[in-house]
């Protein structure tokens, strides 16, 4: 026999549509919001995450990568003299102004690195080479921002802070959380573009000798190099993410939207499952009279909720996953890691079961005389 739950669910097509709409709405809203959250989170720290460094030396009280402060480059030599350091290089991340051929200006995030070590350099290069940046006044930008920066072709010349800059390469998919595109250049060029003094840097990126304990090396650097802070790559990434996602409230807003999606989903599903239960109340009362235990009836209701959850999840994800895929071609990525996709399945199940609790409560309190009323 087909299960009563399935028959009840599919019997009323309109109600089924409303229920599924509720689940799909919740799944899409929550997944897109979470995808945006992860997209933003990734964007805030992807320069750090792709830096290839083990440790970051920063000025005091630097809470996020765009907030670097200048300090003496002499500390680089102290770092290089520390046992366990395989390589170290100076690094700049700072906001600057990009003047387009038409004269309009656009804010950019200038990233100056040492092309020799390539710590903190660009990745996923689709045109040109990192080595091109060894030439003076050269930059690499992401093709996502070509229009924004008014770049028509490779080799085009623009202005950064009143100085000439030539585009010698393009990357693909390097997004920033701020609206300012990342522009990669050599440290030396970046010094000029940001008017950093010759003997200054903003960060020192360190790579440990293979096999050296990074934590121990950090302690050693903290003891040897005064006036700076030392973070592991993961720590500095987390610090930057926390600042942008929670310090500014941007992430919280996205998470609240996701939570609202969840709440709206629960309410819609609860309402429709409740309405369906109320419609079938006499039937549930009859089941009770026939000798069905409360557990049997709960299983019917929960099965209905589970079926709604599974169908709604599949439909919802068939919208969210393509949306995530196509978003990769834009400046705002919706990133849905597989654990999140699977987690959302669990969340959808939980949402629908939670939604059915009110109905279960209703069934528990069925007036027995109901079954005897004509």
| Residues at the interface with other proteins (CB under 8 A) | 1-2, 4, 7-8, 10-11, 282-283, 285-294, 296, 368-369, 371-374
The residue (of 131 and 279) whose beta carbon lies closer to other proteins is 279
The residue (of 234 and 289) whose beta carbon lies closer to other proteins is 289
How many CB atoms lie under 10 A from the CB of residue 14? 7
The residue (of 218 and 288) whose beta carbon lies closer to other proteins is 288
The residue (of 75 and 280) whose beta carbon lies closer to other proteins is 280
Task: Select from 112, 76, 75 the least CA-distant residue to 92.
Answer: 112
The residue (of 4 and 92) whose beta carbon lies closer to other proteins is 4
The residue (of 266 and 276) whose beta carbon lies closer to other proteins is 276
Kindly give, in sequence order, each residue whose CB lies less than 8 Å from that of residue 36, ignoring residues fewer than 6 positions away. Answer: 254, 332, 334
Cβ 308 to other proteins, closest distance in Å? 15
Helix, strand, coil distribution of the chain in percent, nearest 5:
55, 20, 25
The residue (of 104 and 290) whose beta carbon lies closer to other proteins is 290
Cβ 45 to other proteins, closest distance in Å? 53
Cβ 293 to other proteins, closest distance in Å? 4
How far is residue 89's CA from residue 71's CA, in Å, rounded to a whole number? Answer: 14
How far is residue 66's CA from residue 247's CA, in Å, rounded to a whole number? Answer: 14
Between the alpha carbon of residue 320 and those of residues 16, 26, 42, 206, 305, the distances in Å are 21, 11, 18, 40, 21
- In the three-class reduction of DSSP (H, G, I as helix; E, B as strand; rest coil), residue 182 is classed as strand
Cβ 362 to other proteins, closest distance in Å? 17
Cβ 365 to other proteins, closest distance in Å? 12
114: left (phi over 0), alpha (psi -120 to 50) or beta: beta
Cβ 349 to other proteins, closest distance in Å? 23
The residue (of 181 and 285) whose beta carbon lies closer to other proteins is 285
The residue (of 260 and 371) whose beta carbon lies closer to other proteins is 371
The residue (of 12 and 200) whose beta carbon lies closer to other proteins is 12
Cβ 282 to other proteins, closest distance in Å? 6
Task: Select from 177, 96, 82 the least CA-distant residue to 139.
Answer: 96
Query: Please, how many CA atoms are within 13 Å of residue 135, restricted to the half-sphere of its CB?
Result: 15
Task: Select from 226, 116, 152 the least CA-distant residue to 141.
Answer: 152
Pairing relation of β-strands 157-160 and 85-99? Answer: antiparallel
Cβ 241 to other proteins, closest distance in Å? 50
Between the alpha carbon of residue 36 and those of residues 66, 123, 182, 342, the distances in Å are 21, 22, 19, 17
Cβ 24 to other proteins, closest distance in Å? 23
Task: Select from 77, 79, 74 the least CA-distant residue to 57.
Answer: 79
Cβ 275 to other proteins, closest distance in Å? 15
How far is residue 96's CA from residue 165's CA, in Å, rounded to a whole number? Answer: 13
Query: Please, how many CA atoms are within 13 Å of residue 195, restricted to the half-sphere of its CB?
Result: 7
How many CB atoms lie under 10 A from the CB of residue 217? 23
């Amino acid at each position: 026999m087909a299960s009563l739950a399935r028959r009840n669910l599919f019997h009323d097509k309109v109600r089924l549509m409303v229920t599924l709409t509720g689940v799909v709405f919740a799944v899409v809203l929550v997944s897109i919001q979470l995808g945006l959250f992860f997209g933003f989170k990734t964007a805030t720290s992807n320069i750090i995450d792709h830096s290839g460094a083990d440790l970051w030396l920063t000025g005091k009280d630097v809470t996020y990568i765009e907030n670097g402060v200048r300090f003496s480059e002499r500390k680089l030599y102290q770092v290089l003299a520390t046992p366990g350091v395989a390589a170290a290089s100076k690094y700049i991340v700072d906001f600057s102004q990009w003047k387009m051929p038409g004269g309009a200006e656009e804010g950019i995030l200038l990233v100056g690195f040492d092309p020799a070590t390539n710590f903190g350099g660009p990745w996923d290069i689709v045109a040109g080479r990192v080595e091109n940046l060894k030439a003076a006044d050269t930059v690499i930008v992401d093709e996502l921002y070509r229009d924004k920066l008014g770049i028509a072709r490779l080799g085009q010349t623009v202005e950064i802070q009143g100085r000439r800059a030539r585009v010698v390469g393009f990357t693909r998919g390097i997004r920033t959380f701020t609206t300012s595109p990342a522009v990669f250049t050599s440290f030396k060029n970046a010094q000029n573009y940001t008017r950093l003094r010759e003997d200054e840097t903003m960060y020192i990126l360190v790579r440990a000798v293979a096999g050296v304990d990074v934590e121990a090396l950090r302690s050693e650097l903290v003891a040897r190099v005064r006036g700076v802070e030392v973070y592991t790559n993961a720590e500095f990434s987390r610090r930057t993410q926390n600042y942008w996602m929670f310090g500014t409230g941007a992430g919280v807003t996205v998470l609240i939207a996701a939570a609202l999606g969840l709440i709206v989903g629960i309410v819609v599903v609860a309402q429709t499952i409740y309405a369906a239960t109320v419609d079938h109340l006499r039937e549930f009362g009859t089941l009770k009279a026939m000798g069905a235990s409360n557990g049997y009836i709960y299983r019917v209701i929960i099965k209905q909720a589970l079926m709604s959850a599974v169908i709604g999840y599949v439909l919802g994800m068939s919208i969210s996953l393509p949306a995530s895929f196509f978003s990769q071609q834009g400046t705002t990525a919706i990133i849905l890691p597989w654990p999140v996709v699977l987690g959302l399945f669990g969340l959808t199940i939980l949402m629908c079961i939670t939604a059915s609790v009110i109905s279960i409560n209703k069934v528990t309190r069925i007036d027995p005389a109901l079954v005897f009323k004509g």
